[in-house]
């Protein structure tokens, strides 16, 4: 039976260290890191993440400001706000809450955030650092997955890693991060699924990360004996939240498996806080990220 790979204990340890670091930074610079969130309209799907951000920031001593703009705010107004936030030396990091209303070009806004204030690590320049294998601000969910995998003590060198899902926030950056650890990385996506060859890739995965958003996509019987399974998916089925992997069956074969909820989620918010502190330090040191 697989050992549960829970996010909370790992997140708690990282936050304990962050809290001390923030206290030290505060006594050295006379101020704490400040994270500003930009939300356009109210969105129920991001409410849980938003609540977690506020709670984590408060517990850690990070100043958190939520800017909620009306649902019909024009693109240009949001761009002006981001420009102002970029220029404000008091602000260490900026996050654009997703999803955004139809009239808003989110990608353009993310690209406008100063790369040294990019809390989510989604600016092209930070993604470029991931490509170069030496990152400071990486996408939070991808960092969370890497942290979970590494927490098992696995030596990734030469290991067969399969990632399902090639999104910009998870699959793509994670594949590069794992590659920089010399894992043999395969990225599966809709083409792999539609061609019907997902099972054969998954069956040889010593490490499997799934980030798709389809309940039960990955059958338990496909899991390699002794594999590490990180399930990023969040799916509502009836009154339950489940991942993309058939948990019960997969647990019989895997050595480690993340629960859903309680696996990747708690670490994602922690990585956002970590990025905020990294951004603060980089700006104080006038370091190029």
Judged by the rule CB under 6 A, the positions of this chain that interact with ligand NAP are 141, 164-167, 169-171, 188-190, 192-193, 198, 211-214, 217, 232-234, 264-265, 268
The first and second tokens of residue 128, run together, are 């470029």
For ligand NAP, the closer CB: 189 or 219: 189
Nearest residue to ligand NAP, by Cβ distance, number only: 193
Task: Return the CA Rg of the chain.
Answer: 19
How many residues are given for the chain? 289
Instruction: Closer to ligand NAP by CB, 92 or 141: give it.
Output: 141
The answer to whether 113 touches 123, Cβ cutoff 8 Å, is yes
> Quick one: CA dihedral 125, 126, 131, 136, positive or negative?
positive
Nearer to ligand NAP, 214 or 219 (CB): 214
Q: How far is the CB of 266 from ligand NAP (least distance, A)?
A: 8
Cα–Cα distance measured from residue 9 to residue 64, given in angstroms and rounded to the nearest whole number:
24
CB of 88 to ligand NAP, least distance (A): 28
User: Beta 184-188 vs 256-257: how paired, if at all?
Assistant: unpaired
CB 243 → ligand NAP: shortest distance, Å?
Answer: 8
137-173 as b/e: b if 16+ CB within 10 A: bbbbbbbbbbbbbebeebebeebbbbbbbbbebbbbb
Which is closer to ligand NAP, CB of 114 or CB of 244? 244
CB 227 within 8 A of CB 208: yes
Dihedrals φ, ψ of 154, to 5°? Answer: -65, 140
DSSP label at 24? H
Contact 281, 29 (CB under 8 A): no
Closer by beta carbon to ligand NAP, 52 or else 63: 52
The residue among 136 and 258 lying less far from ligand NAP, judged by its C-beta, is 258
**Residue 154 DSSP symbol:** -
- Shortest separation between residue 106's beta carbon and ligand NAP, angstroms: 12
Dmax (CA) for the chain in angstroms is 58
Smallest gap from residue 78 Cβ to ligand NAP (A)? 21
Nearest to ligand NAP of 33, 165 (CB atom): 165
Minimum CB distance to ligand NAP, residue 285 (Å): 29
Smallest gap, in angstroms, from Cβ of residue 2 to ligand NAP? 19
């Amino acid at each position: 039976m697989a050992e549960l790979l829970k996010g909370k204990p790992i997140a708690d340890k990282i936050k304990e260290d962050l809290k001390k670091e923030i206290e030290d930074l505060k006594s050295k610079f006379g101020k704490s890191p400040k994270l500003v969130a930009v939300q356009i309209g109210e969105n129920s799907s991001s409410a849980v993440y938003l609540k977690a951000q506020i709670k984590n920031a408060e517990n850690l001593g990070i100043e958190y400001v939520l800017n909620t703009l009306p649902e019909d705010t024009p693109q240009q107004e949001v761009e002006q706000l981001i420009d102002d936030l970029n220029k404000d030396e008091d602000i260490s990091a900026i996050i654009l809450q997703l999803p955004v209303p139809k009239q808003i070009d989110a990608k353009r806004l993310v690209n406008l955030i100063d790369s040294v204030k990019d809390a989510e690590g989604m600016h092209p320049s930070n993604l470029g650092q991931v490509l170069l294998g030496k990152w400071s601000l990486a996408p939070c969910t991808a960092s969370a997955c890497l942290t979970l995998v590494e927490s098992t003590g696995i030596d990734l060198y030469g290991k067969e890693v399969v990632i399902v899902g090639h999104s910009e926030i998870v699959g793509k950056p994670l594949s590069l991060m794992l590659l920089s650890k010399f894992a043999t990385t395969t990225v599966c996506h809709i083409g792999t699924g539609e061609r019907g060859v997902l099972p054969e890739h998954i069956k040889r995965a010593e490490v499997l990360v799934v980030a798709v958003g389809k309940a039960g996509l990955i059958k338990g019987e496909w899991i390699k004996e002794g594999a590490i399974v990180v399930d990023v998916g969040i799916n509502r089925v009836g009154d339950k939240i489940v991942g993309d992997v058939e948990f019960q069956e997969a647990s019989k074969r895997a050595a480690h498996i993340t629960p859903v909820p309680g696996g990747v989620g708690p670490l994602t918010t922690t990585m956002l806080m970590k990025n905020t502190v990294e951004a603060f330090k980089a700006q104080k040191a006038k370091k190029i990220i």
